[in-house]
Amino acid sequence: MEFFERFAIPHPSPLIYASMVAIGLTMIAIVVGITYFKKWGYLWREWLTTVDHKRIGMMYIISALLMLFRGGADAVMMRLQTAVPDNTFLDAQHYNEVFTTHGVVMIIFMAMAFIIGMMNFVVPLQIGARDVAFPRLNAISFWLYFAGAMLFNISFVIGGSPDAGWTNYFPLAGTEFSETVGVNYYMWALQISGIGTLMTGINFIVTILKMRAPGMTLMKMPMFTWSALITNVIIVFAFPVLTIALLMGTLDRQFGTHFFASTNGGMDMLWANLFWVWGHPEVYILILPAFGIYSEVISTFSQRNLYGYKSMVGSMVLISFMSFLVWVHHFFTMGHGPLVNGIFSITTMAIAVPTGIKIFNWLLTMWKGKIRFTVPMLYSVGFIPLFTIGGVTGVMLAIASADYQYHNTMFLVAHFHNVIIPGVVFAMLAGLTYWWPKMFGFMLNERIGKWGFWFLTVGFCLAFFPMYITGLDGQARRMYTYSEETGFGPLNMLSFFGAGLMAIAFILIVYNVYYSFRYAPRNVGQDPWNARSLEWATPNPVPHYNFSVTPVVNSSEAFWDSKKNGHQLFKDKIDKIHMPNNSGLPIIIAGLFFVFGFSFVFGIWVGVIAAAIGIFGCMAYRTFEKDHGHYIPVEEIQETEMKLEVRNNENR
């Protein structure tokens, strides 16, 4: 029985049991549903084994929305717990687990998945490619991410969640102070999905550098592709640090090493340094693609070319360099003296300059434009003032002496939510709405979308602006409760109210998908927004080979030129197209990684060894597998194109 005891939850509560039951029922419902509708074959052939970048992108985005729900539920629980003084809705341990998982889920499994999903769907289309450079590697990346996400999410029903914060500082995260398997889950879930992310980074760098359409020089790439390129370069430089830090953490926790211990020559702050050497570039990994999306959206709906294209690119390159030079600002209070703090304070503030350039370029893109207030544009317009506020509070935090007062307080919490929500989340919702017709062939309802936007924006302001004030009043972050004398009560109640509005916004966004799926007209044509970049030159829905003929490009707005300036995009005749074959190997290998990770978390070495053998077996199999892809014959392409043309013509 002892073997099974380790799987028990260390701090059970009715909430956890309820979610256990809910998870069980949902899984049974899904399995029964798929079996009943006889969809297993379809699911396997079309989705689980797919190497199509568009479908992988959609799977990323769907997973990201699920994780947004999970992380959002955590957030609402936290706001509810702190809404009134001395609340007893959650106890300290449970609260600690909730804010830890909230952070990890939102950053690693929601935001990362969302941006990688967007890049997957959009980048090959924007550069006129038929898929990414390594389609099967791409599938492995997704399934590794998915395995990591699932591993992380089962922690709270099997064995207990991590409870040392998403930053997971040692020695608190060491076995001395965190005895449950929770932090092991953290190590392995991040490790597995991190490996997937690293592969994505390599994949997209190669794709963007090698697979652009003829004529598309680097300085003629659409801005989103530029942002994706730079993001992936940062990924390739930053993620290995995380990989090693997690490995060292695992060795400390499970094999008795002392890298991060405070005894025997270990250094507790080494973890903090390694974590933020990855963690700060990670912030820019999240925000740069968002900047790319805003550039596309603002340009499209101002009906103008992007102002200052070169300075946009230059500022992103600059940001990517500087993102590696600022990590110490996450612990100015460590006590390394005013010289070190002064240097990192200056580098941190310097990042505001390239970011400022971008803000002004967006403003100047609207100048003399013809602005249409669609849902994607609303998010972009909302982003500018809110992100500016988040940015300037970032500059305030960068002043080292003042940071001694902001550090670890709600002021900091307000700041980073103020950049991540209007920065990343707004961008993802803008991008999702913008490219939705390309993904699914119909538009999302504008009216419901606008309601969603307003609830989200007002909710955001109410939820996070009060935190600036409570932070300055001395409310430390991560406190599960506070006494009435502190006077934090009313503003925290306001925050909870704001969180409620944001939850309603999420419901509206999901409802919009359902509503539009049922009622939206399907005759939207290939270019419903009057857009500018190459992805809109494909028919709707995009055939799996993307472009029947490789387009020829002469500017960063090739599609706009073809509409307005008589540029001829497609010059060649249709030829047979070489496409990669689907493969079941990625999902199998990811499944083995899941078993590997789960066994490692609990130290079940038989499982670890068996899964490792399986993983290497899959790799060996792949090495000797002869898979040269397949050709789509000309007739089939012509037939598909004809059908799409008829459909698109009918629609006009």
Which residue, 240 or 369, has its beta carbon nearer to another protein?
A: 369
Q: Alpha carbon of 316 to those of 29, 115, 292, 310, 482: distances in Å?
A: 46, 16, 10, 10, 42
Q: How many CA atoms lie within 13 A of 652 on its CB side?
A: 9
The minimum distance between CB 330 and another protein, in angstroms, equals: 12
Say which amino acid occupies 106.
M
Nearest distance from C-beta of residue 543 to another protein, angstroms = 32
When the beta carbons of 317 and 396 are compared against another protein, the nearer one is 396
Task: Give the nearest distance from C-beta 335 to another protein in angstroms.
Answer: 3
CA 637 remoteness from chain centre? 34
Cβ distance to another protein smaller for residue 14 or 335: 335
Distance, CA of 332 to CA of 304 (rounded, Å):
43
Q: Look up residue 515 and give its two tokens.
A: 């509503």
Q: How far is the CB of 558 from another protein (least distance, A)?
A: 14
128 sits in the region (left: phi over 0; alpha: psi -120 to 50; else beta) called left
Q: How far is the CB of 105 from another protein (least distance, A)?
A: 18
Distance CA 349, CA 393 (A): 11
DSSP 302-318: HTSPPTTHHHHHHHHHH
CB nearer to another protein: pick between 356 and 541: 356
Nearer to another protein, 268 or 446 (CB): 268
CB of 14 to another protein, least distance (A): 20
Which CB sits closer to another protein, 413 or 542?
413
Q: Kindly state the smallest distance separating residue 97's Cβ from another protein, in Å.
A: 11
Handedness of CA 533, 538, 541, 543 (dihedral sign): negative
- Smallest separation, CB 378 to another protein (Å): 7
CB 397 within 8 A of CB 403: yes
| Cβ closest to another protein, residue 95 vs residue 442 | 95
Q: Which is closer to another protein, CB of 16 or CB of 350? A: 350
Instruction: Identify whether the C-beta of residue 547 lies closer than 8 Å to the C-beta of residue 130.
Output: yes
- Across 3-32, b (16+ Cβ under 10 Å) vs e yields eeebeebebeeeebeeeeeeeeeeeeeeee
The upper half-sphere exposure of residue 458, i.e. CA atoms within 13 Å in the direction of its Cβ, equals 10
CA 58 vs. chain centroid, Å, equals 13
Question: Cα dist. 267→150, 171, 275, 324, 534 in Å?
Answer: 32, 9, 13, 21, 51
- Nearest distance from residue 260's CB to another protein, in Å? 11
In 380-443, where do the E strands start and end? none
Q: Which is nearer to another protein, 225 or 457 (CB)?
A: 457
